[in-house]
Amino acid sequence: MDGAKIIQRGDQLFERRAPLLSLWQDMADNFYVERATFTQTRSIGTGFADHLMTGYPPRMRKELADAIASMLRPAGRSWFNISLGDVDGVPRDVLVILDQMRKIQYRAMYDRVAFFTRATKEADNDYATFGNAVISVDKIDESRLLYRCWHLRDCAWAEDHTGAICELHRCWKLTVDDLISLFGSQVPEELRARSAELRREEVECRHVVMKASRYEGKTNREWVSLYVLKGYGDKVLETVGRDYFGYVVPRWQTVSDSQYGYSPAVVSALPDARMMQDMVRTLIEAGEKAVDPPMLAVQEAIRGDISVFPGGVTWVDAEYDERLGEVLRPMTQDKSGLPFGMEMNNQVQMQMAATFMLNKLTLPEARSGVTAFEISQRVQEYIRQAMPLFEPVEQEYNGALCEETFRVIRSMNGFGPLERMLPPEMMRSVKFQFTSPFTSAEDREAVAQYQEVLGMVSQHAALDPQVVAEIDATSMFRDAVRGTGAAPYWLASEQAAAQKRQMIAQQQQMAQMVQMAAAGGEAAKSVGEGGNAIAEMMGGGAE
C-alpha cells in the first residue's frame, strides 16, 4: 500500500469527523479552555478564558477528572491485579507468578521516563469533557515504555463490524530535526539537505495503525504500524508489523451511528454552563450598579466634568435653584431582584454538580449502631448511582490500558522467564481485576453479608446447636476473605485446604487417643492401688 493511498484513507476519516470539531470547540470553550484549539489557533499572549464570567464549569470538569484518577488509579497503591478468572482453580505457584508479573508491569508503568501519570492526567480531562481520549502505548527501547496523550483534533479512527477500533490515523507535526533523528536516511534528501535554521520548521507526518487484514501487504502480525510523510511524495518512512495496537481509545458513551463517544456529564451541563455565564454577567452588572449607581445630573447646572471618583469635585452653577432637585443624584434602582438572581445561580450550580455526579462519589459511612442489612442496602444504592461512571472507565479505560501495556511488555520480552513458566493457554486467559470504590463496595457487601449470617447463626445456636450444619462455613469464609481485598494467593487452593483439614483432623484424633490412653493408664493405676489397699486390709484382719 503506497503512501498516497494511506493519506487518502486518513483524509476521508478526518473529513467525516469535521462537523464534530465545532461541538468539541464549544465544549472546550465552556469547560476545558486549555484544549479549546479545535477550530481556532491560540497564539502565545492571547487573552485566556476572557470570555468566561465564572470558572465554575471548568472547576466541575477538573473535579470529575481528578476523581477518576484518585478513585480508580490511586497513587502509591497497586490498583490492578492479574488473574486467570477462576482463582480457586489456579495453583498457588501460578498465582505467585502472576503477582510477580503484576509488579513488573506496575514498575514499568510508573517509571519516571514513561510519563504514565502525565498522559493519564491529560486523558482524564479529555475523557470527562469530550467522552473520548487517545493514549499511545509504545516502547522507547527494549526496556522502557512511553505513554502520550494526543489531541482529539489530530486523531480519527474507524470501527470494524464488531464495533472495535480497527484503524487509527494521527496527524503529527514535528521538526525536520526530529524527523531525521527518528527515521534517518528514510527522510527525503531535500529535507535532510536543509540548513540548521530550516530544520526547525515543522512538517506533518501521519502515524497509521490498522488491522493486518486491512493492509494491502504481507505480514504475519495482527497489526501494521506505518509512518507516512505528508507531501514530499507521501513517502512511507516506516512499516512495521506488531502484535499490539499501541493505542488506547476510551469512550464514555457511544451511540450506534458514530465511532466517537460523548460525555453525558458535559452534554447535559452544556446548556447550564451557557446560561450560567449569562446569569453571572447580569449579576455582576447589577452588583456594580448597586455599589456604583449611575448618576442623574442637570446638564445646564454642571460646570465642567462630573467627578464621581474618590476626592473628586464637581462644580455647580451658583445660580441653580436646589428646590428644583439635587443637581447630582444617584438613579433610583430596584435591587430586590439580586437575591433571587443569586438563588437561581446557586440552583444551577447544584444542578451542574449533580450532572457531573460529584455528589455520588462518596462511599456510605459505616456509622455505629447501623445494622449490617442497612449497610448492605446503602452499598447497593451507592453501586447503582456510581455505576454509570465506574463501569465504562474500568472496562474501556483502565482495562484497555492495562491489557495494551501487557501486550507491549510481552513484545519486549519484559516478563522474562516468568512468561515461559506459564502454559500458552494460561497467557491467553490473563485478565485484569481492579481496585476501585465500585469493586470495594461489592466486596464490602460480601463482608457485611458474612457478618450478618454469622450473627444469625450465633443467635439461633442458643435454640438449636446443630444449626451450624445448615451453612457451608468454608465457602462463606473464603468469600469474606476475598471481600477484604486480600491478595489472591493468601488463600490456599481448595485441594490444599482439604489436605490441611485432613491432617489437622488426624492430629486432633491422635491427640485425643493419647489423652484417652493417658486417662486409661491413670485409671488402671488407681485400680491397682485400690486393690493393693484392699489386700492389705484383708491380710491385716487375718492376723
Q: What nine digits make up the cell of 296?
A: 442623574
Higher pLDDT, 133 or 543: 133
**Inter-residue contact 282 to 54 (CB < 8 Å):** no
Q: Which long-range contacts (CB under 8 A, 24 or more apart) does 136-139 make?
A: 136/246, 136/247, 136/248, 137/244, 137/246, 137/247, 137/248, 137/401, 137/404, 137/405, 137/408, 138/246, 138/408, 139/408, 139/411, 139/412
Predicted pLDDT of residue 523: 61
Mean per-residue pLDDT for 389-403? 87
Q: Name the 3-class secondary structure at 383.
A: helix
Cα distance between residue 460 and residue 458, in whole Å: 6
Q: Quote the percentage of the chain above a pLDDT of 90.
A: 41
CA dihedral angle for residue 9, residue 12, residue 17, residue 18, rounded to 10 degrees: 130
Predicted pLDDT of residue 484: 67
Q: Name the 3-class secondary structure at 167.
A: strand
Beta-bridge partners for 171: 206
CB atoms within 10 A of CB 528: 10
**Inter-residue contact 225 to 207 (CB < 8 Å):** yes
Mean per-residue pLDDT for 137-160? 94
Q: Name the 3-class secondary structure at 472.
A: coil
- Supply the mean pLDDT for the chain: 84
Predicted pLDDT of residue 543: 42
Return the minimum-mean-pLDDT range out of 89-103, 313-327, 521-535: 521-535
Q: What is the DSSP string of 113-165?
A: GG-HHHHHHHHHHHHHHHSB-EEEEEESSSS-EEEEEE-GGGEEEEE-TTS-E
DSSP 95: H
Mean per-residue pLDDT for 173-183? 93
Q: pLDDT tens-digit profile of 108-119?
A: 999 999 999 999
| pLDDT of 486 above 70 | no
Cα distance between residue 475 and residue 453, in whole Å: 13
Mean per-residue pLDDT for 501-506? 82
Mean per-residue pLDDT for 308-321? 73
Q: pLDDT tens-digit profile of 196-217?
A: 888 899 999 999 999 999 998 7
pLDDT tier at 292 (50, 70, 90 boundaries)?
confident
Predicted pLDDT of residue 158: 96
pTM over 0.85: no
| pLDDT of 369 above 70 | no
Higher pLDDT, 491 or 15: 15
